[in-house]
């Protein structure tokens, strides 16, 4: 397996890249690139999509700048653009997980639950696909998010999914998940 396509050859994902479309290989080496939505049906020019080494550099730059100067509008645009470049290239690797985890945390810090939810939904898919990351942390966030939003049916489904997860025994003992489950019990009491 290579850096492009990961485990599923780059099939459809939750970022809007249509199923069945062939991933492209970016050639752009510009580090900072604002997010621009790709209209449905448009052909993507590989010269506008960053290479994987450039994306790695871009993510490190966003993280460094976020620590120094937390400008959410700039960070959101850069992180969304990184995610899009990964998506159109069909990249499903540990780096993809890291990029989504970073964006989810930044969104949480800023209270952007919509963006956070997009990231954490995609992260759960990546974890289920066998990619490693901070899965216990993001299961915790998922459960707390559903509790906070009073999404009882979705919470019940998430709990079923958690218990059926291949790593259920480990996850159910992780500090973050134990905490989220305790909060859930306290809320229901």
Instruction: Reply yes or no on whether the pLDDT at 19 is more than 60.
Output: no
Instruction: Reply yes or no on whether the pLDDT at 16 is more than 60.
Output: no
| Least confident stretch, 30-39, 138-147, 164-173, 176-185 | 164-173
Instruction: Reply yes or no on whether the pLDDT at 186 is more than 70.
Output: yes
**Is the CB of residue 117 less than 8 Å from the CB of residue 14?**
no
The pTM score is 0.85
Mean pLDDT of all residues belonging to the chain: 88
Instruction: Reply yes or no on whether the pLDDT at 70 is more than 50.
Output: yes
CA distances from 43 to 14, 82, 86, 114 (A): 19, 18, 16, 27
**91-127, pLDDT tens digit by residue?**
999 999 999 999 999 999 999 999 999 999 999 999 9
Instruction: Reply yes or no on whether the pLDDT at 57 is more than 90.
Output: yes
């Amino acid at each position: 397996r290579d850096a492009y396509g990961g485990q599923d050859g780059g099939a459809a994902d939750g970022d809007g890249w249509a199923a069945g479309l062939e991933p492209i290989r970016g050639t752009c080496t510009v580090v900072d690139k604002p997010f621009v939505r790709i209209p449905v049906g448009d052909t993507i020019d590989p010269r506008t999509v960053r290479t994987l080494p450039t994306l790695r550099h871009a993510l490190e730059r966003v993280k460094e700048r976020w620590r120094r100067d937390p400008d959410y509008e700039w960070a959101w645009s850069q992180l969304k653009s990184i995610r899009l470049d990964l998506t159109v290239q069909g990249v499903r690797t540990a780096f993809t997980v890291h990029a989504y985890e970073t964006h989810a945390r930044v969104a949480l810090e800023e209270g952007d639950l919509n963006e956070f939810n997009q990231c954490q939904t995609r992260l759960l898919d990546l974890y289920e696909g066998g990619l490693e990351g901070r899965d216990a942390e993001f299961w915790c966030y998922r459960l707390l998010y559903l509790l906070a939003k009073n999404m009882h049916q979705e919470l019940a489904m998430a709990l079923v999914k958690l218990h059926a997860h291949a790593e259920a025994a480990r996850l159910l003992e992780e500090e973050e998940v134990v905490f989220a489950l305790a909060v859930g019990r306290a809320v229901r009491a």
